[in-house]
Amino acid sequence: MRELPVQVQEQLLDQFGSRVAFDELERLFYSHDMGSLPSLVKPLLGSTLPAGVVQPVTEEQVIGLVDLARTHGIPLVPRGKSTSGYGGVIPVKGGLVVDFAWMNQVLSVDPEAMTATVQPGVVWEQLETTLNRQGLALRTYPSSAPSSTVGGWLAQGGLGFGSYEFGEFHENVVSCRAVLPSGEVREFKGETLDLIREAEGTTGLIIEVTIRVRPFEPAALWGAQFPSAGSMARALEVCKISKLPFWSVSFINPTMAHVRNNLPPHIEHGKAIEEDRPTLPEAYLVVFVAPESRRSVLEQHLVSLVHAAGGEMLADEIAQDEWDNRFNLMHGKRLGPSVAPAEVVVPLDRLEPVLQEIEARIELPVLMEAMVDAADDEVTLLGFILHDERKFTFNFAFGLALSVLKAAKENGGRAYATGLFFSNEAERVLGAERLSRLRAFKREIDPQGLFNPDKVLSGLPLLDGFMGLAGTFEPLVRLFGNAATSPVGERLEAQGRRGIPDDVAWYAYACTQCGYCVDTCDQYYGRGWESQTPRGKWYFLRNYMEGKVDWTQKMVDSILACTTCELCNVRCCEDLPIEPSWLKLRGELIHDEDRLTFPPFEIMRQSLRKENNIWAGY
C-alpha cells in the first residue's frame, strides 16, 4: 500500500495534525535504515516507500492508529531511531511508518525498587543522564547509546556495554506494555516477554518499558593488548572461569586499531586540525571496566592474568581514550566511504577459531568491535567490511558478510539479529521452540498480517531465496568478494555529481546514518522530521547525485535553514565537517538565480542591489 485513500488521510490529519506526513519526499527519508544495500539486492525489495509517516505522542494515539489500520487493512511498521542495518524498519509493503521518536519521556524512576519506566522512544544516553542525577545508572546499554532507543533495542535484542555482568538486554527488563493488532493493550513480563522481545514489532507495538537499574559508581578502567586472537581468547576465558567481577569487557581487532591510527584529521573552518590522540598498538585491545569499589579486588588478578596469556597492560591514557570513544566504533567508515555489516554472536569458548577463520578467509579490511557476555558465555562481534557502495564490486564485498556468518555457525554461533535480511536464520537466532510460539501468537492476534510484515517470522521470497543461494555458494561468493579490492582511503577525482562539490559528495556517502546528530539538531527539534536532520540531508544528497530526486524548495529550505550551531560536528561519530558542508552548499544554491532559493536570502539580495546593504536601510 503506497498511497492512502483521501478519506484515510483526512482521518489521520484530524487525529495527528502536524505529526503526520504524506509528502513523497518526506516519506523517502523513512524508507530505509542505516544500512547501504548493494545494487543487486535493492531490486529484490521492490519499492520501500511508505504511504505516510505518523508520529504518535500518547498511548491513546497509538491505539487509535491501530484501530484505523485494522479497519482499512493498512500495514504498520514501527520505527525507533533506525540505528540498525537489518531492515527491520523498512516498509516493504508500504503502509504507515510509526515513528516513536516523540514518545520519549522517562515516566518514573524508583530508587527503592531499582527500576525505571520509560516510553519506547527514550534514547539510552539521555536516560543514563537522568538516572545519574538520582545516583543511579544503567545496567547495560548498546554501543549506539547516543541515538538508539529503549524500545528499539528491546524489539531487536542484543548485547552491549555492561553485558559482561548483566547479560542480554531482555534479561534486565521487568516488563513492557504493547498495543496488539486488536487494539488491546497488554503487559508482557517473565515468559510472556518472549512474545515481544526480538520480534521487531511483528506481534505488538511497544509503548512502555520498565527496566532494572543499578547504583551509580565511578568506573575503574584497565586496558590490555594481545598479539593474537588465541592469547586474547585465553585471557577472556580465564576471566570468566575465575568469576572476576567486571561490569563490562569489550575489545577491538588489530585492523580497527590500524584504521583509527590513520583517520583523517578533524576539519574546522576549512582547515585540518590534528588531534592529540594516543597511537594505538595494532593488536587485539581489550577494555575492562568495573565499579571503582572493585578496583583493589580486580587489579592484581587482572595484571597477572594478562601476562600469563601473553599480553601486556595498556597505558592508562590509551585505556581511557578507548573507553571515551566507545560509541565511535564506525569512525573508520570515513575511509570507505561505505561498509558491509557483518555482525554475529559466538560462544566464548569458540572465539579463537572464529576470529582466526575470519582473518584467514577475508582479505578486505574487517573492522571489529566486540562485547563479552560472561553470564551467557557469548561474544557479540560487530564487524564492518570497508568498501565503496558506488562501485559495482560492492556487491561482492557485501557477500563477505556471509563468510563471517558461516565461520560463526561452524562454531556454534549465529547471526546477531533477523530483521528483513536474515529471517531465514530466525530459528537459530530465536530458538526453534520460541519461533514456533511467536508464529502461533502472530497468527492468533494478527490474522491480517499488518504489523511489520515480512520481518523475522517470514521474509520476502525473492530476498530469502537470494540469501539462501548466496549462502550455499559461499566459497564462490567469497572468491569474488576478496577480489573486490577495497578502495579504502581513495579520494577519487570528480566524485561529486550534478554540481555537488567532491568533498561534500564523499561525506554524504561516508555518513553512517547513525543518528548521533539528530537529537542535538535545533532544526530537527523545531520541525520534527527526518528531512531536517543532518543525516537526512546527507541521504538526500546521495539520492540527488544518483539522479533519483531533484532539488525542491523543501530541501533547499532544509539545507539553508541550518542555524550553524555546529553541534552536529561535535556529535558526529565520524568527525565529519557537517556544518561547513552546508555553508559550502549555500554558496552553490544561491549563486545561480535560476535555482530554487531561500526567501530571506532573496530579500537580502534585493536589498543589497537597491540600498547597497542587506538590511534594506539607505
Closest CA to 451 of 88, 14, 157, 121: 88
Helices first, then strands: H and E counts in the chain: 25, 20
> Is the predicted pLDDT of residue 494 greater than 60, yes or no?
no
- Tens of pLDDT along 1-16? 778 999 999 999 999 9
CA–CA gap between residue 92 and residue 33 (Å, rounded)? 12
Closest CA to 399 of 426, 362, 428: 362
Please answer whether residues 32 and 419 qualify as being in contact, where contact means their C-beta atoms are separated by less than 8 angstroms: no
> Is the predicted pLDDT of residue 119 greater than 60, yes or no?
yes
Q: For CA atoms 307, 312, 318, 323, give the dihedral sign.
A: negative
Confidence at 66, pLDDT banded by 50, 70, 90 = very high
pLDDT score of 308: 95
CA–CA gap between residue 554 and residue 435 (Å, rounded)? 44
pTM for the model: 0.92
Higher-confidence position of 467 and 151: 151
CA–CA gap between residue 482 and residue 364 (Å, rounded)? 6
The string of DSSP letters for 96-124 reads EEEEGGG---EEEEETTTTEEEE-TT-BH
At residue 370's C-alpha, the angle toward residues 228 and 418, to 5°, is 130
The string of DSSP letters for 175-188 reads EEEEE-TTS-EEEE
> Is the predicted pLDDT of residue 316 greater than 80, yes or no?
yes
Q: For CA atoms 448, 59, 526, 5, give the dihedral sign.
A: positive
Average pLDDT over residues 185-197: 96
> Is the predicted pLDDT of residue 596 greater than 70, yes or no?
no
CA–CA gap between residue 429 and residue 246 (Å, rounded)? 27
Average pLDDT over residues 527-539: 94
> Is the predicted pLDDT of residue 264 greater than 90, yes or no?
no
Q: Which residue type occupies 376?
A: D
Average pLDDT over residues 487-515: 80
> Is the predicted pLDDT of residue 491 greater than 60, yes or no?
no
Confidence at 493, pLDDT banded by 50, 70, 90 = very low
pLDDT score of 156: 93
Residue found by looking up cell 528499539 in the block: 152
Calculate the average pLDDT of the chain: 91
**Cis status, amide bond into 337, omega within 30 of 0:** yes
pLDDT score of 463: 87
Report the 10 Å Cβ neighbour count for 174: 16
Please answer whether residues 266 and 275 qualify as being in contact, where contact means their C-beta atoms are separated by less than 8 angstroms: yes
pLDDT score of 28: 96
